[in-house]
Amino acid sequence: MRREGFIVLIAALMLCQGALAHMPGADPAPEADLGPIVVLDNGVPVEIGIDDIAAYHGGLEGKEPDACICCVCMYRVLLAGISEVWGDEIPERSDIGVQSRLVSDGALHTAWYVTGIGPGMDAGSAGRLTLVAPNGSALTDYSTQARMGIAKNRCLGDYRFEVTRLSTGESATLTLCEDLFPEGFFELRRAVNVDKTATEAQSAEFLEKWSFLRADLLQKPDYELFNEIEPPEEEEPDVLGGGVFLALLCITGAGIVLMGKKRR
Amino acid sequence: MNRNSSMFTLYTGLLGLVTLAFGLADILVWAGASPGFSIGILEIAGGDFFRWAWGGAILVFGGLFMLGSLRGRGTMEQFGKIVLGAAMIWIIAGTDIFARLCESIPAGEEAPEFFNSVAGFVGGFAPPYSPAILLLPFTLGIVYFLFNGRFDEI
């Protein structure tokens, strides 16, 4: 390979790495095997991975594919919510209803993509998305300006979601655990992203906390993310089964040794 | 051919066939014919190449050695083939049991302590088992003949 070609290849690889970083300067998103959200689109199964969400969100923002915290958060909400409400069944896209107090672009675009409501999607098979204001009323204006007004004062209470099976009314409410957020996260976010009053050190600190939170959202199991999901019960070890096996093994071993000695 | 001989031939033939079938099943599950399964106390996970594809091939050869011993008259060479076939099972079963031993000594990843509890350690040997471990007790007949030097009677 010629040197120029090699340099172009390295540059392309570096761009690929940078593609997942939402926050300027943030580390690439860690590897995570979340599995896809599977929905039926007019009866046809469609698998939606976090990379599809990143591409859709990046496309709407006019940027590179980007899986930001809000995208990952809404993705985990939908994965867990669909699993809670539908169990092993695959939901029809048009049967999925989502309510979200998180009104950011990332959350909105992710919910749009999964429910099929957003630009470039088939409106005929779309579900329903409702953004909820902090006072509990449904937002009617989804414009960036209207949502930015709410996002300024983002707090833990905004990470509240409801996934509903529209045909039956069955729903699951999910709220993010408080201990996921590093100390002072929301204050730093406001200083860096809203008020623009953060010092360089504060910006660096926010960047670190932002990356830490995204890694947790990507890698932690559902029961460590959401208050409503119980951890799986630990299985008691099968002492009887293991004991019988070990006893048989020891008896057989001893028998073989004795047989060997007797032969001598 | 005396009664003992025909019984031993039947025993070896059946053991060889089952070993061959289990070996092939190990390889097929590893190759993706099934995502891995568990029936009763039998489990074929099929994820790891060396355990399931390579180990399966060893079981296949073990089965073939045993079946190969059925040809011809009862001689020491024939018994040698049977022992070789059984040794293949012992190797795989031995490594499976050793793996269980090693996995049962430390506590789980999320546990704060390093060593497992006694109950956890013993529970690590509970069913389900790999095909090679399940075949292990059925090779004891061969061990008996081997230790008693009565292979010339079969």
Cα–Cα distance between B60 and B85 in angstroms, integer?
Answer: 9
CB distance A59 to A91 below 8 Å = no
Question: Which of B122, B126, B147 is nearest residue A259 as measured by Cβ atoms?
Answer: B147
| Residue in A closest to B150 by C-alpha | A263
Q: Give the highest mean pLDDT range of A58-67, A74-83, B1-10.
A: A74-83
CB contact under 8 A, B125 and A259: no
Per DSSP (E only), the strands in chain A are 37-41, 44-48, 96-100, 128-131, 160-165, 171-175
Output the CA–CA distances (angstroms, integers) from residue A123 to A42, A47, A54, A111, A128, in the order listed. Answer: 11, 18, 21, 14, 10
What is the structure's pLDDT at A5? 57
By Cβ distance, the residue of A241, A260, A263 closest to B127 is A241
In a mutational test of the A interface, the residue from B109, B116, B122 whose CB has the highest number of chain A CBs within 10 Å is: B122
Say what the pLDDT of residue A12 is: 41
Is A167 a residue whose pLDDT tops 80? yes
Side chain identity at residue A92, one-letter code: E
* Poorest-pLDDT segment among A9-18, A89-98, A110-119, B82-91: A9-18
Interatomic CA distance for residues B114 and B120, integer angstroms = 12
pLDDT tier, A80 (very low <50, low <70, confident <90, very high otherwise):
very high
Contacts of B129 in chain A (CB under 8 A): 245
Phi/psi at A69 (nearest 5 deg)? Answer: -55, -45
pLDDT for the residue numbered A21? 34
Indicate the pLDDT class of residue B127, thresholds 50, 70 and 90: very high
Does A245 sit within 8 Å of B125, measured CB to CB? yes
If you count DSSP H runs as helices and E runs as strands, how many of each does chain A have, helices first?
9, 6
3-state SS, residue A42 = coil
Is the pLDDT confidence value at A232 over 60?
yes
Q: pLDDT tens digit string along A87-101?
A: 989 999 999 999 999
How far is the alpha carbon of A215 from chain B, nearest alpha carbon, in Å? 18
Structure letter (DSSP) for residue A132: B
B85 SS3 class: helix
Average pLDDT over every residue of A68-91 = 93
Question: What is the pTM assigned to this prediction?
Answer: 0.63
Q: How confident is the model at residue A66 (pLDDT cuts 50, 70, 90)?
A: confident
CB atoms B126 and A242 under 8 Å: yes
* pLDDT tens figures, A197-217: 889 999 999 999 999 999 999
Query: Within 13 A of B5's CA, how many CA atoms are on the CB side?
Result: 12
Residues of B whose CB is below 8 A from A239:
119, 122-123, 126
Residue B127 sits at the vertex; the CA angle it makes with B123 and B129, to the nearest 5 degrees, is 125
Q: For B139, name the nearest residue in chain A, comparing CA atoms only.
A: A252
Residue range A54-81: mean pLDDT, rounded: 90
Contact of B135 with B93, CB cutoff 8 Å: yes
- β-pairing, A37-41 with A160-165? unpaired
- Using CA atoms in the order B64, B65, B66, B71, what is the torsion angle rounded to 10 degrees? 90
The radius of gyration of chain B from alpha carbons, rounded to an integer in Å, stands at 18
Q: Is the pLDDT of residue A17 over 60?
A: no
**Residue spans per domain, chain A:** 3-225
Of A111-125, A241-255, B14-28, the one with minimum mean pLDDT is A111-125
Which residue among B121, B126, B147 places its CB closest to the CB of A263?
B147
Q: Which residues of A touch B143 (CB under 8 A)?
A: 256, 259
Cross-chain Cβ contact B137/A252 below 8 Å: yes
Inter-chain touch B144–A259, beta carbons under 8 Å: yes
pLDDT tens readout for residues B58-79: 999 999 999 999 887 667 888 8
Classify burial at A196, counting beta carbons within 10 Å of its beta carbon; exposed 0-12, middle 13-18, buried 19 or more.
exposed
By three-state DSSP, how is residue A161 classified? strand
How high is the pLDDT of residue A24? Answer: 57
Q: Which has the closest alpha carbon to A206: A187, A178, A179?
A: A187
In this complex, the residue of A237, A256, A259 whose CB is nearest that of residue B126 is A237
pLDDT (tens digit, 9 = 90+) per residue, B88-119? 999 999 999 999 999 999 987 777 789 999 99
> Chain A contact for B1, CB < 8 A?
no
B105 touches chain A (CB under 8 A): no
Q: How many beta-carbon pairs below 8 A join chains A and B?
A: 48
B149 vs A contacts (CB less than 8 Å):
263
- Cis peptide preceding B128, ω within 30 of 0: yes
Measured at the CA of A100, the angle between CA A98 and CA A101, to 5 degrees, comes to 165
Contact A114, A52 (CB under 8 A): no
Flag whether residue B146 sits within 8 Å of chain A, measured between CB atoms: no
Residue A231 has pLDDT above 60, yes or no: yes
Question: Is residue B42 within a helix (H) or strand (E), and if so which, with residue range?
Answer: strand B42-44
Quote the DSSP letter at residue B50: I
Domains in chain B: boundaries: 3-153
pLDDT of residue A11: 47
Determine the Cα–Cα distance for residues B150 and B132; give it in Å rounded to an integer: 25
Contacts 24+ apart (CB under 8 A), A89-94: A90/A38, A90/A39, A90/A40, A90/A45, A91/A39, A91/A40, A91/A165, A92/A39, A92/A40, A92/A43, A92/A125, A93/A39, A93/A40, A93/A41, A93/A46, A93/A125, A93/A126, A93/A127, A94/A125, A94/A126, A94/A127, A94/A166
In the predicted model, what is the mean pLDDT of chain A?
85
Report the phi/psi class of residue A155: left, alpha or beta, with left for phi > 0 and alpha for psi in -120 to 50. beta
